[in-house]
Amino acid sequence: MRTIEDLDVSGQRVFVRADLNVPLDGDRITDDGRIRASLPTLTKLRERGARVIVAAHLGRPKGEPAQEFSLAPVATRLGELLGTDVAFATDTAGESARAVSGALSDGDVALVENLRFEPGETSKDEAERAEFADRLAELADCYVGDGFGALHRKHASVYDLPNRLPNAVGDLVLAEVEVLRRLTVRPERPYAVVLGGAKVSDKLAVIDNLLGTADRLLIGGGMAYTFLKAQGHEVGSSLLEADQLDTVRAYLDHARQKGVEIVLPVDVVAADSFSADAGHAPAPVGSIPAERMGLDIGPETRELFSAKLADTATVFWNGPMGVFEMEPYSHGTRALAEALTRSGAFTVVGGGDSAAAVRALGFPEDQFGHISTGGGASLEYLEGKTLPGIEALDA
C-alpha cells in the first residue's frame, strides 16, 4: 500500500478519512482515545505543509443532520490536542465545507460535519454513493485513509472516494494492519483469544475462523451464557440467544476435534436485576438462581482466566467480561486486564468496549502491546474478510 511518504502533500488539500466516533455525554467527550490515535498522521501531514481536511462519522444518524451527532465538540477537542485552531465546516460537502477547504493555508486543519448526515455516505445504491464521493473529491487534491474503525464499511468516504484522488494509507491504519497480521500469520504461541460482550451471534464468524488459528479461547461476558446453556447449564434470567444453541454446540464439538481449548466461566456474579444497586452474589454456573441474571464473571473464573493467560505469548481480547460500567460488575474486566499486563505476552486490546474499559478502569495504555481503534474492523479482519477500505487503498 502507498504511504503518506509516497504523496507530495506540500501545499495540497489532503482529505483524511479518520475515525473520530467518540462517546459523548451531551457535548462532553467521555473518551477521546480515537481522537488521540489520529494525531500522528495529522501532525505528520501538517509538518509537511499539507492543508488538512478531516472527515469522520459519529453515531448513527439517519442520513440527515441531528444535533446530538454533531462533530462540533470533536473539532474543539482536536484543536486542543493539536495545539492549533481547527476550522469547522457546518456541512459535509456543501457551501461551508467548500469555503473552509478553500481558505486553508499550509499546515492548517479543518474538520467537516458528520459524514453520515448525508444519505450518500452509507447508501447501498452505488450511484448515490458515487454522487456523494464526487462532491467530497471536489474538496481536496489527495486522500489519506486513516479511519481504521470504518474500513470494514463499503461507504462513500471509505470505498468510493479513494478511487477519485491520489491516495495513501495513514500511519494509524498501517499500525493496525501490522498488528492484525501478527495475529493471523504465524502468531507466537501459545495464542489465546478472549471474547466477551453481549451477543454470541456478533462473533460466530470470528470464532469459526479462530478455531483454525488460536490455541485457546476464553469466553466471558453476556455471550458466555449461550455457551453455558449449550453445555446443559441453567442460566437463570441471564442474556441468552436460544436460536444459537445448536450452532454453539457445533463449535464446541469442532473445537474438541481441532484441539482448541475453550475456557468458559465456572462461576458468575448473579444479580436480582440489571442495576448497580441490585442484590448480587457469586454463583457457580451449575447453580445460577432462576430469578437472577449473570452480569460478570465470578471470583473463581477470574483466577481461572488469569491462570490460562499466564503462559501465553500472544493474546487478543475483544469484549468486556461483564457490565463494567457498573462498579459491582467491573471486577471481572479489571481482573482480565490485570492478567494481560502481567502475562508477558504480546497483548492486543481489540477496540470498542474493551478499549473503553481499559481507559475507564484507569490502566495506562502502554501496559498493553496495542489498543485497537476498531472493534468491528478488527473482528472482520480476524474472520479472514477483505476490508473494503483496505481494498480501495490497495487498488
Read off the C-alpha cell for 286: 451449575
List pLDDT tens digits, range 314-346. 999 999 999 999 999 999 999 999 999 999 999
CA dihedral 317, 323, 309, 380 (to 10 degrees): -20
| Of 33, 376, 384, 385, catalytic | 376
375: which strand partners? none
352 is catalytic: yes
34 is catalytic: yes
pTM: 0.89
Rounded to whole angstroms, what are the CA distances from 87 to 15, 23, 64, 144?
14, 21, 22, 19
Query: Are the CB atoms for 272 and 278 separated by under 8 Å?
Result: yes
Q: What percent of the chain has pLDDT over 70?
A: 100
199 is catalytic: yes
| Of 98, 199, 249, 359, catalytic | 199
| Of 145, 236, 332, 352, catalytic | 352
Confidence bin at 123 (pLDDT 50/70/90): very high
In order of their start, the domains of the chain are 4-174 (3.40.50.1260), 187-383 (3.40.50.1260)
Q: What 8-state DSSP symbol labels residue 364? A: -
List pLDDT tens digits, range 41-59. 999 999 999 999 999 999 9
CA dihedral 140, 42, 54, 169 (to 10 degrees): 70
Query: Are the CB atoms for 271 and 329 separated by under 8 Å?
Result: yes
Average pLDDT over residues 255-278: 97
Residues flagged as binding site for substrate: 19-21, 34, 57-60, 116, 153
Residues flagged as binding site for ATP: 203, 294, 325, 351-354
Residues flagged as binding site: 19-21, 34, 57-60, 116, 153, 203, 294, 325, 351-354
Q: What is residue 384's predicted lDDT score, i.e. its pLDDT?
A: 87
Asked whether the predicted pLDDT for residue 351 surpasses 80, the reply is: no
Residues flagged as binding site for (2R)-3-phosphoglycerate: 34, 116, 153
CA 237/CA 122 separation, integer angstroms: 37
Give the chain's length: 395
189 is catalytic: no
